[in-house]
Amino acid sequence: MMKNNEMNTANYSKRSLAPDISRGFMLLLIAMAYAPTYLFNVELGVYIRPADGTSLDQTVNLLSFIFLDSRAYPMFAVLFGMGLAIVVNRQMEKGMSDRDIKKLIRRRGYFLLLFGVIHGTFVYGGEILGPYGVAILLISWLLYRPNRALFITSAVLTPFFIITAVGMGLGLFMYDAAAYAMPDYTLTGIIERLISYSLGMFTTLLLYPVIIIILLGIWAGRKGILLQPEKHRKFLTIISIAGMLISIAGALPVTLIGVDMWSPDPVVGGVLYGVQILTGVFGGIGYAALFGLLSIPLSKKPGIITRALAAAGKRSLTCYILQSTIIAIILSEPLFGLGGRVHAAGAALIALLAWFIGVLLSVVLEKRKQAGPADALLRRLIYSRKV
């Protein structure tokens, strides 16, 4: 077990603004990343983004290559890890036994996996709940180990994920990626999606450094870095600047490929894709650190935008499922099919609309002091002894 000073370095009784506004912004990044995967009747290029379109579409693609692609997942992962650490510490503060906390964490993993399978089968095959549910089950034992165990595990896994990231980059560069269009709802279509989703879920965990980022998030959660950002201002400043600079530098080569300014050898291109993926880790962490810094002045006198982002962050599961469903309904070929008539800019606008609807719902629920329906259901399932 870890030492007490590693477990309780922060006050967990008061809810901090930083994680909530970070999650609220993260939801927008995820919506922007999901929407282009539903486009059809277009020539697909890098990261399933349309290769044709107007100058506005190409500008959207360029900004996405630099600031979005392979950056939303890491931000989710670091916030996810922080959340796990916070759950463990809060239950310890309440006097819950180690055995019961372990059961609680495993239940969280199982039910997240269940939510992910349902969401991935019926809405979006590239969703993230399932992989993170499995990740909990794989690394939950580390939640009760000292920080040294987190760092050793990360160090051991890092070379493996560097190799797999480059391998994934080679695959992305040499083979056309398939969009995650919604399946037909025949029994055969549902079974096919269930199988493909399950395979994709484990592929994500094997090829992408999700687990390492979660472990870094657990460490940050133990330190209370986003719970007490004013005490970690210097550290957050360094991480946000360094993270974003590394992220942008790693994204530039793929950006040049994506906007048809460079056509490298396939092997070189694949390696650069791997670099794009790996440096995205720094980008996601940099985003989280940046919002930690922003939360310091914003928390003193939060305005309407800050409160709205925080409301969405508190109900992130509900907003996540809602926005992905809206995007799928509007863009998917089996339904409204707008994905056959818009390009990158149109997809981004629809993603923004879907995210905004979730934020509006969250603001209404915040005024009523109600949790998001999906968040409340997950909590009920986790904490109910009858399930």
Terminal C-alpha separation, the chain: 28
pLDDT at 155 over 50: yes
pLDDT-above-70 percentage for the chain: 91
Chain segment 231-259, per-residue pLDDT in tens: 999 999 999 999 999 999 999 999 998 88
**What is the spatial distance between Cα 109 and Cα 380, in angstroms, rounded to a whole number?**
14
pLDDT of residue 5: 47
Contacts for 371 with CB less than 8 Å, ≥ 6 apart: 314, 315, 365, 379
Chain segment 349-366, per-residue pLDDT in tens: 999 999 999 999 999 999
Average pLDDT, the chain: 88
pLDDT at 117 over 80: yes
Q: Which helix (DSSP H) or strand (DSSP E) does residue 358 occupy?
A: helix 344-367
Which carries the bigger pLDDT value, residue 322 or residue 302?
322
Which carries the bigger pLDDT value, residue 6 or residue 93?
93
Give 18-44 as a DSSP string.
Answer: HHHHHHHHHHHHHHHHHGGGG--SS-B
Which carries the bigger pLDDT value, residue 49 or residue 287?
287
Q: What's the mean pLDDT in 129-137?
A: 94
**What is the spatial distance between Cα 275 and Cα 270, in angstroms, rounded to a whole number?**
9
Q: What's the mean pLDDT in 277-302?
A: 91
Poorest-pLDDT segment among 44-48, 107-111, 302-306, 327-331: 44-48
**Cβ atoms of residues 144 and 104 within 8 Å:** no
**Short-list 102, 43, 15, CA closest to 344:** 43
Chain segment 10-51, per-residue pLDDT in tens: 554 456 788 899 999 999 999 999 898 888 877 777 666 777
Polymer length of the chain: 387
Read off the pLDDT band of 337 (50, 70, 90): confident
**Cα 272 off chain centre by:** 22
Q: Within 13 Å, how many C-alpha atoms sit on residue 73's CB side?
A: 24
**What is the spatial distance between Cα 1 and Cα 22, in angstroms, rounded to a whole number?**
30
pLDDT of residue 335: 80
**Cβ atoms of residues 28 and 358 within 8 Å:** no
